[in-house]
Structure 1
């Protein structure tokens, strides 16, 4: 795993998984720039963000493309989402980063509330603030009836990011 050009220490902040070996592909066909960006000193950047526990087990915690940087700090949407869904009223949550002049990027959380449940923005914000570092709490909390999904059921973060920039980017 890589952090600042070297191996990430065990038990610390998550880092991107890098791999190399005879079975790792040589590059993207006809796309030399993407191939160059996909490798670091012969190691292939998987895009998977892992945390290695002191017992040696590794856990995938996010994807590099989903991570956003707010005020110089990495924010892993999966961490924020996991805290949000601890509330019984939250059926699902997806967090994306959007551009911000002061902080670089800030979070926008799209939240599905369980049918029959009630949840206010103030309640959700208080819960997030109680369990996350301040810079990880999304600036924008948006309640939606449902999140955009692909045919596989996976949340379409690209669509959410586009929506967030269009609706919230100028606030």
Structure 2
């Protein structure tokens, strides 16, 4: 959008300057929520059952996933705005795909090599995954829930500030 001229046209219109970014983020987060609901429905259709989770736990899990999507969407918007073209923008966020792979999503932290455990432990996906497991599978959550929320809040603010500064500094 930045290279095609649509943003330049939006900037000449009588709309709030940040509404373009917020519109993109809201659309992306809604798309992510719909994807989570679809994947969850497929999981339930394939036999996933959460015997310990009630409606509140499911809503809390959906809320955490939505907050997580918001945080990483803002980070991705900042990366995209800092890119010289669309190809670079789509490739800049590729390292974020690795974060779930180096978390406790697939392998418990205790079974990882000792040198790797701090890397997996102190990143945003591990507390979020442990919180989701606790909500939906009845495992211990401990302090993971507030660490996950803190990561989401920090990444959201960082991504928003980064995106705003990139958007406002762009002369196009």
Select the structure that is richer in helix.
2
> What is the TM-score with the length of structure 1 in the denominator?
0.25
> What is the TM-score with the length of structure 2 in the denominator?
0.25
Instruction: Compare relative contact order (CA 8 Å, sep 6+) and give the higher one, 1 or 2.
Output: 2
